[in-house]
Structure 1
Amino acid sequence: MLTTWTVEDGRCRVREGAVSDITAVLPAEAQAAAAAACEPDALRRAVWIDLLNPTPAEEKAVQSALSLEVPTREEMQEIESSSRLYREGDALFLTANFLYGVDAGEYSSTAITFVLTGTSLVTVRYATPKAFSAFGARAQRQPGNLLASADGVMLHLFEQIVDRLADVLERVGADMDRASQRTFRAARANVKANRRDDQLKETLITLGQVGDVTTRASETLLGLNRILTFVGAEKATAVRKENQNLIKTLVRDVRSLVEHANVLNNKAQFLLDAVLGVINVEQNAIIKTFTVASVALMPPTLLASIYGMNFEYMPDLKWQYGYPVALLMMIVSAILPIWYFRRKGWL
């Protein structure tokens, strides 16, 4: 899908367009609107062109109208810095991985490319981070501030992404705190073993998710930091003077969030070690119980083995009270080790 954002008479005008086989299934009026959005003049007037899962025809339309090469999905997956941050003529090509889908629980990272020219910003993406939807809603309310220039659109979009990442890190930090409190409260209280095991399992899952989300958020922040550093070096020709202070603010915010994400990672690792320590203590207690039980049953087993031998001549073999006395000796031999262990404080 191709979406163009244009400011006309102080108002934001959003056009959604598609090319070829997609428009064939639309009503005639919708086909005309979609085709109009993809016209070269409309694309050149747009301050922001958003390509979501673009078709080859849509890529070709943008390339023809703006005289630039739109990177393919395979090219966006390249990890070399020279393939992600570079200049071609007057256009800057900026690619980084961005976290998305945290609210739905199906979170992942996707590569998004920003192509900045003197008049337009082109974004190429194959997923929709929530920051894009939130920025789109804000841009329609405040087109004069957010859609004044292509570089302003990009920087304000980065600002929205940073705000979104801050919310995500704040949420996962709160989830981690609740999980740790619940775990340690259950460890101190006299909770049933099954319930305690379920809570420990839930805490481990939560800590795993926190670690995964913070790692992906850190990857997004590091990608943003590289982009801002690259844009800062090119700001004399790529960024208007009134927007250059926004780069400094974004760099400070990104660095502070990177530090916060590192703190969350360290805290998650500490809590993971603590939870595993609680599990080890409980497992040791279970093993100790089995060990004491096996030691306590060794003397009775020895007596039963002796009196269970089938020799023809054995003392007390035909004694009338031999059976109850043997049972009593077994019971006493089992109680004495337990009494001794309790006296030593081992139980």
Structure 2
Amino acid sequence: MITAYTLDAGKIVEVRCSTETRIPDLALWVDLATPTPDERALAEAWIGTEIPTREEMAAIETSERLYEADGALIMTAVMPLIARDPDPKTASMTLVATKGLLVSLRHGEPVSVSVAVRRIQSESIPIRGATDILFVLLDAIADRAADVVEDCSSAFDAAASDVFERGIDSRKSAQYKATIQKIGLIGLKIARMHDSCASLERLFLFLSVHAKTIGLTGQQKTAAKALGRDIRSIREHASGLDTRLNFLLDATVGLVNLEQNQIIKIFSVLAVVFLPPTLIASIYGMNFGDMPELRWAWGYPFSIGIMLVSVALTFLYFRWKKLL
């Protein structure tokens, strides 16, 4: 699908295009959402340079994600969308920028794109050219990355409260499995956001270095550097959260093991407590003919009493040693 955004009387107007219709002359930004080869070819003819395919967008090498060609900057970054969709082909977005035009190519539905559209269509942000739209879009992407990391931080706080305040019962396996799974999912989301922030940080650095290619103003150069610092701080926040997640996971497993060890200790102590009665019962269970207690009227109560006394003495010994 091709969506063009044109500047009409100082306002951004959204226009849906197809291969049968040409892109408007006044268009500043063309957004390609899961385009067909014909739609991508139409956008390439409009901006005057080749646009990477979906397979090329998934390239890992920085040189293949960020480069300059035909007077345009081709920049591919992993979007915060990867937090919920781990497929890099879906979560990546390519931005092709020239001095007066902008093309975005994506195969997913990142929230930052819709946020950027609302911002440029509002009258609060003046739009004079494609570079203004580019920075509104990049700012929305950075804000979305911060929101995702904050969501992970809130989820971490909830999981930590479950573990340390309300507590988890290791005898209910579903409960502690769900807690460990929740911690693991937060960790996976943070790991994906590391990749996203790393690619965005490289993008902002590349944009600052090649500012002359697309005619960035001094204010926009400063904004690019500021966005790079913001993404770096988001990444550092994610790194700190990742460390806390590892601590929480270790603590959760440790608490479960501690409770399980306590249960095993109780069984071990009970086995020792009932060891003397077992020995006494084994002795009187022998079939020797010359055992005086066999013909003693008080033999049975005597043996039961010895057993009870041995249990009580063993129990009191463990209590004295604070093993119970």
* Fold conserved between structures, TM > 0.5: yes
Name the residue aligned to 1:155: 135
Q: Contact 1:180 / 1:203 at 8 angstroms: preserved in 2?
A: no
Percent sequence identity over matched residues? 36
Please tell me whether residue 270 in structure 1 is matched to residue 247 in structure 2.
Answer: yes
* Other structure's SS at 2:274 match: helix
Q: Residue deviations 1:144-203, cap 9 Å, x none?
A: 62x43222222221111111222222232223223323322234xxx97767x7664454
Asked if 2 retains the 8 angstrom alpha-carbon contact of 1:85 and 1:92, the reply is yes
Secondary structure, counterpart of 2:43 in structure 1: helix
Find the partner of 1:234 among 204, 210, 214: 210
Aligned equivalent of 1:219: 195
Q: Considering only aligned residues, what root-mean-square deviation do their CA atoms show, in Å?
A: 2.5
Partner of 2:278: 301
Measure the CA separation in 1 of the matches of 2:225 and 2:206: 12
SS of residue in 1 equivalent to 2:294: coil
Q: Which residue of 1 aligns with 2:301?
A: 324
Which residue does the alignment assign to 1:8?
8
Q: Which amino acid letter does the alignment assign opposite residue 54 of structure 1?
A: P
Q: Matches of residues 61-140 of structure 1 in structure 2 within 5 Å?
A: 61-100=42-81, 106-108=84-86, 110-140=91-121
What amino acid maps onto 1:218 in structure 2? H
> Which range moves more in the overlay, 153-162 or 330-339?
330-339
State the distance in 2 between where 1:167 and 1:152 align. 23
What CA distance in whole angstroms lies between the structure 2 residues aligned with 1:289 and 1:330? 20
CA distance change for structure 1 residues 338 and 107 in 2, over 3 Å: closer, same or farther? farther
1:180 to 139, 160, 180: 160
Q: Work out whether residues 80 and 141 of structure 2, in 8 Å CA contact, stay in contact via their aligned partners in 1.
A: no
The residue aligned with 1:337 is: 314
- 1:251 equivalenced with 2:232 (yes/no): no
Cα distance in 2 between the residues matched to 1:18 and 1:336: 90
Asked if the contact 1:99/1:107 (under 8 Å) is kept, the reply is no
The answer as to whether partners of 1:183 and 1:199 remain within 8 angstroms in 2 is no
Shift in alpha-carbon separation, 1:153–1:169, aligned structure 2, 3 A: same
Give the AA of the match of 2:188.
D
Rounded to whole Å, the distance in 2 between the matches of 1:275 and 1:148 is 54
Tell me how far apart the structure 1 counterparts of residues 82 and 204 of structure 2 sit (CA, whole Å): 24
Q: Against the structure 1 CA distance between its residues 142 and 309, is the aligned structure 2 distance closer, same or farther, given a 3 Å change threshold? A: farther
Deviations 1:213-246 (A, max 9, x none): 2222222111111011111111122242142221
**Equivalent-residue separation in structure 1 for 2:130 and 2:289 (angstroms):** 105
Q: CA deviation at 1:255?
A: 1.7
**Structure 2 unaligned runs (5+)?**
none
Counterpart of 1:24 in structure 2 is none
Equivalenced residue count is 320
Q: CA deviation at 1:261?
A: 1.4
Structure 1, residues 95-123: CA drift from partner, whole Å, max 9, x if none? Answer: 12112286xxx454511111112222111
Q: Secondary structure at the match of 1:317?
A: helix
**Quick check: 2:169–2:176 contact (8 Å CA) kept in 1?**
no
Tell me the equivalent position of 1:141: 122
Segments of structure 1 that go 5 or more residues without pairing to the other structure are: 20-34
Kindly state the Cα deviation for residue 340 of structure 1 after the two structures are TM-superposed.
0.2
Letter in structure 1 aligned against 2:10 = G
